[in-house]
Amino acid sequence: MVRVRQTAERSGRTVEEVRVVAISKTKPFSLIRQVYDSGHRCFGENYVQEILQKAPQLPNGIEWHFIGHLHSNKVKSLMVPNISMVEGVHNEKIANHLDNAVSSLARNPLKVLVQVNTSGEPCE
């Protein structure tokens, strides 16, 4: 965290303005719990199934981030109570599915990061 603080200061920000997301994919519950108990709150997964397995067994204070490619048939199941952000929404269909899922649950808005194809390449 020292490097995070130094980098934040060099960029003119405070460390409080920076969020470190601990990627917990394939990590056991016990390790995630240890990191949580040390004060960390943001964890990222790139498999919906892992969030579904881990979220109910870990503290509600965790802010889950889904990182990566999300299939439309997985959107509803991703809506665990403490999902905080979806990173990498790559098309309008997924964005609409997320919007509908969040609206149907009457929960706080979900934060999303949109993936933008700036190169114009069809595979991006």
Is 98 within the bounds of a domain? yes
The string of pLDDT tens digits covering residues 102-115 is 988 878 889 999 98
Whether 12 is in a domain gets the answer no
Tokens found for residue 68: 């990566």
At 31 the pLDDT is: 97
Q: Is residue 14 part of a domain?
A: no
CATH number at residue 79: 3.20.20.10
Nearest CA to 32 among 12, 5, 3, 61? 61
The tally of domains found in the chain comes to 1
**Phi and psi at residue 67, in whole multiples of 5°?**
-120, 120
Q: What is the pLDDT of residues 40-70, one digit of tens each?
A: 999 999 999 999 999 999 999 999 999 989 9
DSSP one-letter string for 70-99: --GGGHHHH--TTEEEEEEE-SHHHHHHHH
Establish if 10 belongs to a structural domain: no
Q: Is the pTM of this model over 0.85?
A: yes
Order of strands, sheet of 83-89, starting from the edge strand that comes earlier in the sequence: 22-23, 42-45, 63-67, 83-89, 111-114
